[in-house]
Amino acid sequence: MKKAQIRLFESMAVLVVFLLLLGIGSVFYFKLQRASIEREIAKSENLYAMQLYQRALYLPELDCSFVSIQRDNCFDIVKLRFFSELLSREENRISYFDVFGFSKVRVRQVYPSELDWFILYSNIPETYQSKLSSRSSVLLFNASSGNYGFGVVEVDYYAE
């Protein structure tokens, strides 16, 4: 009878050690998985922020086109002014939520004279976890005078 009890105790001890090692291994595995998932989320947020930035640079509503030839990274200032006023109203901004989501898109002329920011789109959530910003220089065409200027496009993406 004592021999059977000792073997039963040995079996239980091996089972406890095995379960303890399995528990420690699973905790370690899940921590690695969590870190991997967090990296993937950050990567996808950066990718989405870059997509928003590209959408802002190539808005057909603002492009400089001459006889159906479009210039890259060029905004028409007259179109920019009216588009900014149009999207300042809530009912018009809602239709661009699919394009820009929770972000803020601004354009400012810096040369030949500095102008205030044109806020193209602004939909900032009340709470957000991170903010990703992208900036680029653009060519600004003034159709009324036929002159060019330089500006800055800034896109801020708010990740929830």
Q: Walk along the chain (160 residues) in steps of 10 and give the mean pLDDT of each run.
A: 84 93 94 93 89 86 76 84 84 82 89 83 87 88 85 89
pLDDT at 49 (0 to 100): 87
User: What strands lie across the sheet with 63-66, from one edge to the other?
Assistant: 63-66, 69-76, 130-142, 147-159, 103-111, 118-122
Which of 43, 86, 70 lies closest to 94, judged by CA? 86
Q: Can you give the residue range of the structural domain that contains 64?
A: 2-159
What pLDDT, in 10s, does the model give residues 70-83? 777 888 888 888 88
Number of structural domains in the chain: 1
pLDDT at 21 (0 to 100): 95
pLDDT at 17 (0 to 100): 94
pLDDT at 71 (0 to 100): 76
d(CA 24, CA 15) in angstroms, rounded, equals 14
